[in-house]
Amino acid sequence: MSHIKNLIPRTVNPDIQKERSAASFDVQEFAAWWQGGLAKLNTKREIERVLFDDQEDGYGLKHEYMSHEEVYNCMVKNLCEAAPKLKALQQRLNPGGSDIWPACLTNVQATGLFPGNHPLATHITMFVDVIKGQGTPEQVDKWAKAAENCNIIGTYAQTELAHGTNVRGIETRADYDVKTDEFVLNTPSLEAYKWWPGGLGHTANHAMVVAQLYINGQHKGIQMFIVPLRDAETHMPLPGVDIGEIGKKLGMHAVNQGFLGLKNVRIPRTNMLMKYTKVERDGSFTESPASRVNYLTMVYTRCLIVNLNATLLLEAATIATRYSAVRRQSPIELNAPEPQIIDHVTQRLKLFPEIANGMAYHMAAEYMWEQYDQTVLEANNGKFDRLPDMHILSCALKVLASTDGCAGIERLRLSTGGHGYHIAANMSNIYGNAVAAITYEGENTVLLLQIGRALVKAWANYKQGQPLSASYAYLASSMQLREFPKWDNSWQCILKALQFTAAHKTRIAFENLSERMAKGQSQAVAANNTGIELTRAAELHGRQFVCQTFMEQITGAKAKKRSQALNAVLENVLELFLVQTVLNNMSDVLRFINLTEVDLRSLQKRLELSLEQLRPNAVAICDGFDFHDKVLNSVLGCYDGNVYPRLFEAAKRSTMNQKPVQKSFETYLKPLMKSSL
């Protein structure tokens, strides 16, 4: 297809070049800051050079014309061909580390390497890390290195066909046989089959199975077990293992999610992870010192989800913003030339808040990783005080990042008009990868209810005069105010208003819950009937946290390390995020805070002004995220801005265009056209 290659100009679209020339800050400084330093930026670019420079033309699109089975096998092939490159890069750039191999199987480069996804993500992000985090030193030595090197491939099997977010309700059980020093695992019904684990279908030969532990018929809670699934040589399922793939999904095409049934499958006692909870040879049981220690796995995974969805949102924002700088349509002045659509204020409102949202969630995730590392350090030393707060905050961030991210990606797709509907725009794949996070690792509404219950518990502690942890401290400080102070339009004022509103929503949820219980409802029934108030309070709890974290990251001590020009741009993004957040939640804010017409008009003007001020820097900000063209994989979002030649090239690559007449013409269409009714 050499004629296709000639369609793409070697020059950059002049409109998008004009945008870059107008930027008020140094894009390289932004990119280095975004990646965590110049050294990390340079390493990232070197990795991408090695991985992407020799990719064939059309690499990112060809899987769209394959069958389901072909996509899976193609992505496995791509993965196995990439592995030696990644291992060699790891050895050359950071010997002994894991930031390239296996990290590049799950970070942003993975979408460029595996445009149809791949089946090892769950192995890397959960199977390996759960062993490291909750295995004994002996178990880590036995399993972790082999798993990291992919000598064994695992998955994380928790969700069942009939049980998801309610982990305590899962039916898979592991009975300890003291005579043989083994656990016997069973899925006692069809509903108990494991369902959805990535890579389980035809890739993994081990699984981290989450099951109910029983010793001498006594229930000992939820535990995790390493279960071999397939023969190491033939890859055939082992006796008692019923395994396969669940079929095609909306997205994640080659992730190979599977089902798993177990019938009297025996594993050694030492295959149960025992860093915290232990089963001895004689069947004696030692419970974990912290009942919620298994939440560490969920906290870790939810932090990954926030990172992932923030990245996917920013990928979509980059595509839509670059396209909006190239696309010209609908004169603003009568008889004037068609402007770039990014000059329409309504288009800016579709684009720029999503840039701000993605940056805010990215910053919140960075903060959470710092807190997670500290929590793990404390847990290793027997301290678990921080874990409940980390669990609740990670739930809140996972909910908001996935909900806002998916809504934002769809909004951005719509902002690109008809061309965004084309598969080569890649908006549909980005959405398909993002939207699953609304359900997996805790369905969002269920998580909001968990947060809501934690909030009313914290409120009860406050009412009883007990001290509150840092993440709930705003409840007390807000309630010390008889009424909200006069609106002064500052960022701190907006943050305090959101906290004041969140505190009162928690108060209302607590009062309604208490009232229902006073009328004779059980606590569980009353909580169900208070679900609307609980979820709304939970959402606002999360939003005030994101606003507070974003503001601290942009205006705090770290700002001194950045140039004045870069700080000015970041403060513009922060302004847009805070103003948009308070406007989006104004119906609740006005319930508790008396804003005047002047105050409301001022917020609207600030929104419009922030959009206007962001306009000259929008393309450059997206450049600063430093997404490689192979990662974006979009004809609308390429760095050179040559949208229309790339769209036409993608059309030419359609398998139907490789021959001028389809076989259905002679067989069906021609007879129809020649028939007489």
**Helix or strand run (H / E) with residue 390:** helix 387-415
Q: How many CB atoms lie within 10 A of CB 153?
A: 21
CA distance 226 to 306: 27
Between β-strands 206-215 and 173-177, what pairing exists: parallel, antiparallel or unpaired?
A: parallel
Residue 323: name the closest of 11, 640, 7 by CA: 640
In the block, which residue shows the tokens 């804003």? 595
**Helix or strand run (H / E) with residue 363:** helix 345-380
Cα 525–chain centre separation: 32
Alpha carbon dihedral 466, 544, 406, 416, in 10-degree steps, equals 180
The first and second tokens of residue 124, run together, are 């890397």
Contact residues for 491 (Cβ-Cβ < 8 A; gap 6+): 551, 555, 574, 575, 578
User: Of 441, 533, 539, 575, which is the active-site residue?
Assistant: 441
> Is 502 exposed, middle or buried (CB count within 10 Å of its CB: 0-12, 13-18, 19+)?
buried
Alpha carbon dihedral 251, 256, 259, 263, in 10-degree steps, equals -170
- Can you list the positions of beta strands (E) in 229-284? 241-245, 258-262, 265-268, 278-279
User: Does the annotation list 358 as a binding residue?
Assistant: no
User: Does the annotation list 135 as a binding residue?
Assistant: no
Residue 133: name the closest of 122, 121, 144, 123 by CA: 144
Q: How many CB atoms lie within 10 A of CB 168?
A: 8
Q: Angle at which helices 14-21 and 295-326 pack, to 10 degrees?
A: 110
Q: Is 597 known to be catalytic?
A: no
The first and second tokens of residue 235, run together, are 């890859």
Q: Give me the helices (H) in 143-217, please.
A: 145-148
Q: Kindly tell me the sign of the dihedral angle through the C-alpha atoms of 124, 125, 129, 131.
A: negative
CA distance 389 to 367: 14
Binding residues: 159, 198
List, by residue number, the catalytic residues.
Answer: 441
Binding residues for FAD: 159, 198
